[in-house]
Structure 1
Amino acid sequence: MLTHLFWLLTGLAALIAGAELLTRGGTRLAARLGIRPVLIGLTVVALGTSMPELAVGLWSAADGDGSLAVGNIVGANIMNLLLTLGLSALLLPLAIQMQSLRFDLPMMTCAALVLLVMAWDLQLSRSEGLVMLVMGATYLTVLVQTSRHESRAVQAEFEAEYGAEALAGTLPEARGRYALLNDLMWLLGGIAIVVIGAEWLVEGASAIARQFGVPEAVIGLTIVALGTSSPELATTVVSTLRQERDIAIGNLLGSCVLNILVILGITVFSVPSGLSIDSQLLRVDIPVMVLAALVCIPVFVSGRRVGRLEGLALLIGYLSYMAYLLVVRT
């Protein structure tokens, strides 16, 4: 038991550290290559913080733990929408940008509904994974197009976060010609740590689940989801405290979309026979994720902000859901 717990916690720590290295290294590398600031946030940062979910999903799928893989994605999105968004709004009311209202919010809701429909037969097939990937590619393509109209406020936030030199894509003279290689090494090192950490996490979590008779879906919805979503939680809370809300909300909603369409899409497509999932995921957890997405619509539209009371309500919703999982499902 202690050995399994050790590997689970070590895997969690490795995921968090690896995601930070991956995101930072990828961000600086992209900036040095002259990629537009908002594109860095929409792609490198959003995908970087979702890498733990992908690594866990691939390892789980390879081990035949479809419920753990899907539960991780569902739990991560529930955490993003209720815990992360709620905590950020409770700390400081969040203003919602029109980009989030017109595109990110509808896409997030659509992705959640698509997963609900596809999981109706308790099986996610390889063809459904391909459909997810096509939708994800379309989403990223539209983001690239719309990023050309980035606001000055967003540019200022990225400059404050990553530095004027990074935005310009230029290298400080003092760092010399090896700066690009250094950033690449940070990126590759982060990826390696995430992959190794995911293996440790999945092995430890699965062993504990089997030992105590806890459904693997519940492990994915709780411990694994909390671990893999910690980069999004840290990024959003820190961005909120710095009042960099364009980054915080945009990356949070984008991460929810990418988790389903790209991360889960790759996971499902990687398994020729598809993934089988627990019936409880379809009856309870995926509908909770869909409900959380739907709740965001009136919250975001009313006044184009998330106030402290609304943030508190989201937090209470998440704590209630966690209480249900621990009391009823374990």
Structure 2
Amino acid sequence: MSIVWVILGFMLLVVGGEYLVRSSVALSFKFNISKMVIGMTVVSFATSAPELLVSVQAALSGSPAIAINNVIGSNIANIGLVLGITAIVTNIEVDKSFYRLNWPVMMMFSIVLYYFLKNDFLFSAFEGGMVFTALLVFLVLVMRTAKKDAVTDEVDDTLSIVSNFKIILWLLIGATALYYGSVWLVDGAKSIARSVGVSEAVIGVSLIAIGTSVPELAASVIAAVKQEKAISLGNLIGSNIFNIASVLGITALIKPMPVTDEDILYNDIFWMIGFAAILIPLMLLPKRFQISRWKGLMLVIAYGVFIFLLFTSK
């Protein structure tokens, strides 16, 4: 039965990703802002919801390792698995705002998270409030600078006449499908993993993280196939920022999270920072400012190595 829930969950996540892409492109017309920003706000908020629900539930139920590892593992999966597969589907052009603002902010949040956890082995409510406030400041900055780039984006002109009602309906359908799809997928994956004796720490950074990253995979692959490449990259970078700043930030405000598994600090979080850091040299290698299919393949292989070492070392 667990396999059935996994399959049904995946199907719902694909549907949710499709409706989120439609609504995000339509919103870019309504508000005259770039697709990159839409990907980093509307889509990222919706696709980060599974991580938030899982992390809050895990923290409240006394499993802080799952709460933290879920986000760390999801951020690793977003770059290694999701971005890698998306790039294999189609080459991804890198927007200038990526290395001028988005990537530095993602690295900053990743390093700050490591410092907070390493400092006292606790992600406190105060620290959660700090990163969440920083996220709000970042969003204001992005929205202010995005207006200049709106005219350069090429989008499907037919979406410029979509009614507000239909946009809201698409958002609701997408968010609902992503929510239930993620719940079924994660529950099914947990049941399968525990039936073969896998620990909670491994579940959090691997199966649950992959499960909650499926919305990003669905939305990004669909966007890439439709040539909405700005959304593909913006969604992933935005999702990683949101995972740390909103998912862990809000979770810490509700329930401070102690570090109960040292592998989080001495292994997992370095993989997360490493995957984020490797994007810059990948972007600068020929062809410059493009994540090509072979670069995507490299990311997927690196993610496979991470998963292999994770299960063999624990």
TM-score normalised by structure 1 residue count? 0.81
Decide which structure has the larger Cα Rg and report it. Answer: 1
2:161 is aligned with what amino acid?
E
Aligned match of 1:224: 208
Give me the CA root mean square deviation: 2.9
Matched, 1:248 2:232: yes
Shift in alpha-carbon separation, 1:24–1:212, aligned structure 2, 3 A? same
1:39-58 matches, within 5 Å, as: 39-58=37-56
Q: Is the 8 A contact 2:13 2:218 kept in 1?
A: no
User: SS in structure 2 opposite 1:76?
Assistant: helix
Alpha-carbon shift at residue 53 of structure 1 (Å): 1.4
Shift in alpha-carbon separation, 1:294–1:131, aligned structure 2, 3 A? same
Matched, 1:281 2:264: yes
User: How far apart, in 2, do the equivalents of 1:237 and 1:198 lie?
Assistant: 17
Q: Is the 8 A contact 1:22 1:186 kept in 2?
A: yes
Alpha-carbon shift at residue 48 of structure 1 (Å): 1.4
1:287 is aligned with what amino acid?
F
User: SS in structure 2 opposite 1:150?
Assistant: helix
User: How far apart, in 2, do the equivalents of 1:252 and 1:261 lie?
Assistant: 14
Alignment equivalent of 2:159, drawn from 146, 160, 163: 163
Alpha-carbon shift at residue 196 of structure 1 (Å): 5.2
Aligned match of 1:93: 91
Aligned match of 2:289: 304
2:149 is aligned with what amino acid?
E
Aligned match of 1:316: 301
2:54 is aligned with what amino acid?
V
Q: Is the 8 A contact 1:129 1:266 kept in 2?
A: yes
Alpha-carbon shift at residue 325 of structure 1 (Å): 2.0
Q: Provide Cα deviations, 1:229-267, integer angstroms capped at 9, x if missing partner.
A: 112112222222333222221222111111111122112
**Unaligned residue ranges in structure 1 (runs of 5+):** 172-178
Aligned match of 1:35: 31
Alpha-carbon shift at residue 215 of structure 1 (Å): 2.0
Q: Provide Cα deviations, 1:73-115, integer angstroms capped at 9, x if missing partner.
A: 1111111111222223233332211111101111111111111
Q: Is the 8 A contact 1:136 1:262 kept in 2?
A: yes
User: How far apart, in 1, do the equivalents of 2:176 and 2:218 lie?
Assistant: 21
TM-score normalised by structure 2 residue count? 0.84
Aligned match of 1:149: 148
Matched, 1:133 2:116: no
The count of residues paired between Structure 1 and Structure 2 equals 309
Matched, 1:67 2:51: no
1:172-187 matches, within 5 Å, as: 180=165, 184=168, 187=171
Alpha-carbon shift at residue 45 of structure 1 (Å): 1.6
Alpha-carbon shift at residue 285 of structure 1 (Å): 0.9
User: How far apart, in 2, do the equivalents of 1:242 and 1:188 lie?
Assistant: 21
Shift in alpha-carbon separation, 1:199–1:113, aligned structure 2, 3 A? same
2:212 is aligned with what amino acid?
T
User: How far apart, in 1, do the equivalents of 2:117 and 2:55 lie?
Assistant: 16
Q: Is the 8 A contact 2:7 2:185 kept in 1?
A: yes
User: How far apart, in 1, do the equivalents of 2:15 and 2:178 lie?
Assistant: 8
1:117-132 matches, within 5 Å, as: 117-120=115-118, 121-132=120-131
Shift in alpha-carbon separation, 1:142–1:218, aligned structure 2, 3 A? same
Tell which deviates more after alignment, 18-27 or 234-243.
Answer: 18-27
Tell which deviates more after alignment, 194-203 or 251-260.
Answer: 194-203
Alpha-carbon shift at residue 152 of structure 1 (Å): 2.8
Q: Matched residues, percent identical?
A: 32
Alpha-carbon shift at residue 293 of structure 1 (Å): 0.9
Shift in alpha-carbon separation, 1:124–1:219, aligned structure 2, 3 A? same
Shift in alpha-carbon separation, 1:10–1:307, aligned structure 2, 3 A? closer
User: SS in structure 2 opposite 1:64?
Assistant: coil
Shift in alpha-carbon separation, 1:310–1:190, aligned structure 2, 3 A? closer
1:242 is aligned with what amino acid?
K
Alpha-carbon shift at residue 165 of structure 1 (Å): 0.8
